[in-house]
Amino acid sequence: MSTLNVAVIGVGLVGKEFLNQLAFVGASDLSSRRIRLIYASNSKRALREDSKGLDPASCSQRLADGEGEEVALAELPRLLESTIVDRHRTVIVDNTSSDYVASLYPAFLQKGFDVITPNKKAFSSSLKLYNDIIFASRFKEGGKYLNESTVGAGLPIIATLRDLVASGDEVIKIEGVLSGTLSYIFNEYSTPLGEGPSFSSIVAQAREKGYTEPHPGDDLNGADVARKLTILSRMIPSLRSHLPEGYKSVSITSLVPDALASVTSGDEFVARLPEYDAEFEKLREEAKKEGKVLRYVGVIDVQAKVVKAALEKYPANHAFATSLQGSDNIIAFHTKRYSPRPMIVQGAGAGAAVTAMGIMSDLLKLL
């Protein structure tokens, strides 16, 4: 019976939750499956166990307590080669958002290691890195990469688009609310009734609930949505090379006021944002007069070759206005087969538990 060796990089919120789910899977009745955690690391130290494996439930705390050894990530392929016995499969799970770790994917894949990750950097940055990853995965002995959780956390968005393309369907347009943070903000701010609290108060509330980054400007600038659009557009053959600089090539409408663009402190940003409530109120009033709501959406128009992240107005009876709650994501696939009614995928699109579930589902596909 073969064993799947697992090496985990990053044990923060998502990484810790993934380890908890790994512990559950390991304790369940999986007579035909064997998963062995052989490596777990945070930004400073790493734990390794080649034979019996590590206990997933205790790794996060052990690393927090300073256990383990200092290991350079560039040395990880060499270290993991020594752990492979009888050609057992080895998968690297990258739970970080690190550009550096993402740059190592081609080396991992060339060595035959599979890579599973929610890290959007590798698939939404330069076209060169993306192509290097694709090329490395096509080696005879190359590993596979699985990145379902890079878009929509645990929602089956990547898998759905992959199946549509692979089965010969023609993708016409993709549009959706792809940011859990911006979904929450505009679900609260722009309702079908056209009323609600001030924009700045909702942003502050979202920050207190942990829905935003420590600096809310990192959500309001639209870059996260642009990265997800890049990942999806590169899965469509006619758009694969359309964004040479990745998310930087996407047309992005930032919601960060120009005067606050240089503010580096999250606290200062939130404190000064009320100065611009009138500008957002004007947008809300305009939408209300048209019987519409505001939603921050990502759009991929395949025929026009337009990829954009922008604040748009939708009718008050549109699914983007009526179906969303909290930090839900919703995405509509308009294709030749799914026309005029699109295929819609909706659900929780943010949070450690659902993101870790997306990672776990990718891992189980390798068994």
Residue numbering of the annotated binding site for NADP(+):
10-15
Buried b or exposed e, range 205-223, using 16+ CB within 10 angstroms: ebbeeebbeebbbebbbbb
- Name the residue with tokens 């402190």: 265
- Name the residue with tokens 């759905």: 160
Buried b or exposed e, range 293-318, using 16+ CB within 10 angstroms: bbbbbbbbebeeeebbbbbbbbebee
Angle between helices 277-289 and 199-208 (to 10 degrees): 110
173 as an active site residue: the answer is no
Identify the helix (H) or strand (E) that includes residue 162: helix 157-166
Asked whether 77 and 109 are in contact (CB, 8 A), the reply is: no
Number of C-beta neighbours around residue 108 at 10 A: 26
- SS3 (DSSP) at 302: coil
Q: Which of 16, 121, 228, 292 is catalytic?
A: 228
Residue numbering of the annotated binding site for NADPH:
96, 120
Catalytic residues: 228
